[in-house]
Amino acid sequence: MIDLKKLRENTSIIREAAKAKNVEIDFTRVLELDKLVRALQQDIQQIATQKNEASKRIPQADEAEKEAILTEMKQVDRKGDELKAELQPLEQELDDLLHKIPNPALSDVKVASNESENEVLRTVGEIPEFSFTPKDHMEIGQALGIIDTERAAKVSGARFSYLKGDGVMLEFALIQYALDTVMKYGFTPVTTPHMVNARSMRAMGYLEHGGHDEIYYLPKDNMYLIGTSEQSVGPMHMDEILDLGKGAMRYAGFSPCYRREAGTYGKDTKGILRVHQFDKIEMFSFCKPEDSDAEHNMILEIEEKLMNGLGVPYQVLKMVTGDLGLPAARKYDIEAWLPSQEKYRETHSCSTCTDFQARRLNTRFKDEEGKPQFVHTLNGTAFAIGRTMISILENFQQEDGSVIIPEALRGYMGGKERLTTLK
């Protein structure tokens, strides 16, 4: 949520920031509504004051005066009710418009309209060379007997899968490896609710500008299935004042993620690259504003440490304004090399949302003077299981059909060094 005071004082800056994110907002209407709402609220407050003063006169009044005061208060009440009826739709319209205003990008983010202009910050690791034609993850997974999309389609439809045998063991190895790593940085593991209420989802900034299209909604319950545990972890502390005296409050949320993946087509709909349900470990931090940039750098550092531990080639991108989304003020992506596609594909992201989500959640801390201030929130992928498995299967596949297990995971798989094909 944008601070209304800042919006009034810096309308042109916030208008340009929205435009940089390809978002059109009627700021003239926003400011007009703001004036109308404030004026009505002031009138309603004056009526409340008038009623309070009138009620103080009643104990000293005689019967005739009491009758006159009560008549006066009834008239004032009617006027107040009329003003409140006038105020309610204006407040709702203003609130809806304010929720659509995106978080302005930070000053170090490149202003550009689309993802083709994202900046590649670095490329890490050597792209593997094969003496044979590399297979895609589905060919490998089916031969290993660890991925079954055909039976999942019978049960649930397209873009679902069963993981089996070593596929399950590989998933839990990735989970344990990620948890062991992030806990060293002070992240507390947490399993989260898979459904959140409307206030929580809206506060996190995922319902505006087409976000609804990606999210599974349960209208009978007015609940949403989460697309990432971030959407459950962020609201954990709404309407709370946090103690950040010892530093950031950090969580590592593990959950299934549910996404419609609306508009995807072609190769991305096959296998487990873009599916309607997958598991993920997500890092989430609540911190003081002055610690926000350092926290963002640390989350990216952890993501790279995890990828380096696997030995998968990757590149780090810094997203331009047009590819940030509503809540993010700065975002980095990590893309792993996929031999079957001969290109890098996203496996990780990490964002700072500054105080944007915290304002909507009313999550604060007390500064050195004891004054409540809004926290900053940040998030970052530890592992999205499906995509990480794809990168392992494809980069470490062998000509005999086996797949070398990264050393970092072997201790979680009983020392096993390879996934071998079914006989």
Residues forming the active site: 259, 274, 346, 349, 387
- Cα dihedral 29→31→35→40 (10° resolution): 50
Q: Residue 189: which of 159, 158, 229 has the closest Cα?
A: 229
State the Cα–Cα distance between residues 33 and 274, nearest whole angstrom: 42
- For residue 159, the Cα-to-chain-centroid distance in whole angstroms is 22
| Burial of residue 192 (number of CB atoms within 10 Å: 0-12, 13-18, 19+) | buried
Bridge partner residues of 339 (DSSP): none
CA angle in degrees (0–180, nearest 5) for 236-215-336: 85
Do β-strands 249-258 and 188-191 pair in parallel, antiparallel, or remain unpaired? parallel
Using only C-alpha atoms, the chain has a radius of gyration, in whole angstroms, of 27
In 68-215 the beta strands, taken as DSSP E runs, fall at 119-124, 147-148, 162-163, 188-191, 195-197
Instruction: State in Å, rounded, how far the first CA of the chain is from the last one.
Output: 57
Tokens at residue 274, please? 């873009």
| Burial of residue 219 (number of CB atoms within 10 Å: 0-12, 13-18, 19+) | exposed
Alpha helices, DSSP H, located in 246-291: none
**Residue 201 neighbours by CB under 8 Å, 6+ apart:** 207, 215, 224, 231
State the Cα–Cα distance between residues 28 and 94, nearest whole angstrom: 11
Which amino acid type is present at position 29? Answer: R
